[in-house]
Chain A
Amino acid sequence: MQIYKDYKDHADFLTVYVREAHPTDEWQMKSNVKEDVCYAQPKTLEQRVAIANDFVKRFNYPTKFGIDDMSNAANDAYAAWPERIYIIDEQGRIAYRGGMGPFNYHPEEARSWLAARYGEVKHEASTAVPDKKNN
């Protein structure tokens, strides 16, 4: 999670686990099988906790993590499903509202918001492309 690594000294990060998007008993994708990510839609909070822990362990996921209740209160408050990013400012107001995933899920927009405030963090991969004008 590059954005976290780049801006964790300036901003806090929280990942919120919401209801599954492609569980085996609903709309499973071929990629889920290929990547061995096969779970039924949790019916209990304990099942959500178990899946969230699998996710964190598999990817050694670094950010603070919270799990939405079975009432989907957080999901409903933020219209979050299936995936979405928000940034809350120091006054507790929405500073950035990302689009609804997957088609309008653009983490680079959140990165741009952070970059505008704290400066761009460049990486070799993005800076190694030679400028044609200098060739």
Chain B
Amino acid sequence: MLKWVGAVVVLLILGAVIGLSVMAGGLRGAYGMVRYALPHMHRGTLRVGDNAPDASLLALDGSNRFHIRERSGARPLVIVFGSYT
């Protein structure tokens, strides 16, 4: 019985490694995804109809600040989150 449980666990791990490798483009990518990406990826709890959260942002000049909610009101606000890399 223990042997079968062990075999199933090994197969599950192998399946997960193969699946992640396919998604991430290789073993190195799979490691990167698990080590660096998954801990920061969250589905979040916001839903359509919820009040939009506010946050303070720094302007490109590195000194002025503004709030997300300052930018919304008269017209819809499209917010694109992302980074360079």
| Contacts from A to B (Cβ < 8 Å) | 3-4, 7, 10-23, 26-29, 32, 37-39, 45-46, 48-49, 51-56, 63-69, 73-75, 77-90, 92-97, 100-101, 110, 114, 117
Contacts and interface: CB of A to CB of B under 8 A. Distances in A.
Contacts of B42: 79, 81, 100
The CB with the most chain A CB atoms within 10 A, among B47, B53, B74, is that of B53
Grouping DSSP codes into helix (H, G, I), strand (E, B) and loop, the B interface class, with mixed when no group exceeds half, is loop
Given A23-B85, A83-B81, A53 B32 contact: no
A66 B41 contact: no
B82 A18 contact: yes
Nearest to B82: A83
Interface size class on chain B is: 35 or more
Given A79-B44, A88-B76, A94-B51, 16 more contacts: A7-B78, A12-B71, A14-B78, A14-B80, A16-B68, A16-B82, A20-B84, A45-B58, A53-B60, A78-B53, A82-B37, A84-B81, A85-B81, A88-B77, A100-B41, A100-B43
9 contacts: A14-B68, A14-B80, A15-B82, A68-B55, A78-B44, A86-B46, A87-B79, A94-B46, A95-B48
Interface of B: 29, 32-33, 35-37, 40-60, 62, 66, 68-69, 71-85
